């Protein structure tokens, strides 16, 4: 399976890169697994930072509002009762919540195959032979414009490179990710997936089914 490939100068290459069918051409009957993997990524990154005050933590309320009997009103022991305005919160977050969603390794890999396959079917995936940059944002943006990328760009590289990261740092619509760290969240959110050619081998090594990898 061939895909549009560009040279390091941004022109279309005469020899398009071939994608592994077992990775980039998966049949997706439904999106349930993709949804689970996506929510798992979000949940695992979520921190339990929200904390509310119970009636025991709200300041004040030490004095009984009125005497127990004889007023004709309901009995209350504290003005910080949860049913009063300014009172404590019942069943609110306490900072001990666990939002982690566990998903098996095989399921995560299959979800990533499906995400990449859907991106290929929607013509979102492009391959570039090599990205050469001296860290200048202007030259990097000129290369992207020559390739005619659209929307948010996910640049997949074999290894994290300081010059590429410096060049893309001030470009808000570009996200750089290593091939071994590629995930469903980044793939699904990207409008264009630009894969550095040398990272294809790493993606295939991680996800290919030809060698019995699940």
Token digits of residue 80: 């910080």
Beta bridge mates, 127: 5, 195
Name which residue leads in pLDDT, 152 or 130. Answer: 152
pLDDT(212) > 70: no
* Number of CB atoms found within 10 A of residue 163's CB: 14
Radius of gyration in angstroms for the set of CA atoms belonging to the chain, rounded to a whole number: 27
Say if pTM beats, i.e. exceeds, 0.95. no
Q: What dotted CATH number matches 2-29+105-207? A: 3.40.1370.10
19 DSSP assignment? P
Token digits of residue 133: 């940059």
- What distance in Å separates the CA atoms of residue 65 and residue 77, rounded to the nearest whole number? 7
Mean pLDDT of the chain: 90
Least confident of 24-33, 101-110, 156-165: 156-165
pLDDT bin (cut points 50, 70, 90) of residue 213 is very low
Angle value at C-alpha 153, between 151 and 157, nearest 5 degrees? 170
């Amino acid at each position: 399976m061939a895909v549009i490939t560009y040279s390091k100068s941004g022109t279309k290459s005469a020899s398009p890169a071939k994608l592994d069918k077992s990775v980039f051409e998966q049949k997706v009957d439904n999106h349930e697994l993709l949804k689970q993997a996506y929510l798992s990524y979000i949940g695992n990154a979520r921190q339990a930072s929200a904390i509310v005050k119970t009636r025991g933590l709200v300041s004040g309320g030490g004095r009984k509002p009125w005497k127990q009997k004889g007023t004709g009103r309901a009995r209350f022991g504290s003005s910080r009762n949860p049913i009063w305005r300014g009172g404590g919160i019942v069943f609110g977050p306490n900072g001990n919540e666990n939002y982690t969603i566990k998903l098996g390794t095989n399921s995560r890999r299959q979800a990533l195959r499906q995400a990449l396959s859907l991106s290929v079917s929607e013509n979102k995936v492009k391959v570039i032979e090599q990205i050469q940059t001296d860290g200048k944002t202007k030259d990097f943006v000129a290369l992207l414009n020559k390739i005619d990328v659209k929307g948010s760009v996910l640049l997949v590289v074999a290894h994290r490179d300081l010059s590429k990261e410096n060049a893309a740092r001030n470009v808000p619509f570009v996200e750089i990710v290593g091939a071994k760290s590629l995930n469903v969240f980044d793939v699904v959110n990207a409008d264009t997936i630009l894969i550095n050619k040398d990272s294809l081998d790493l993606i295939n090594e991680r996800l290919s089914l030809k060698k019995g990898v699940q």
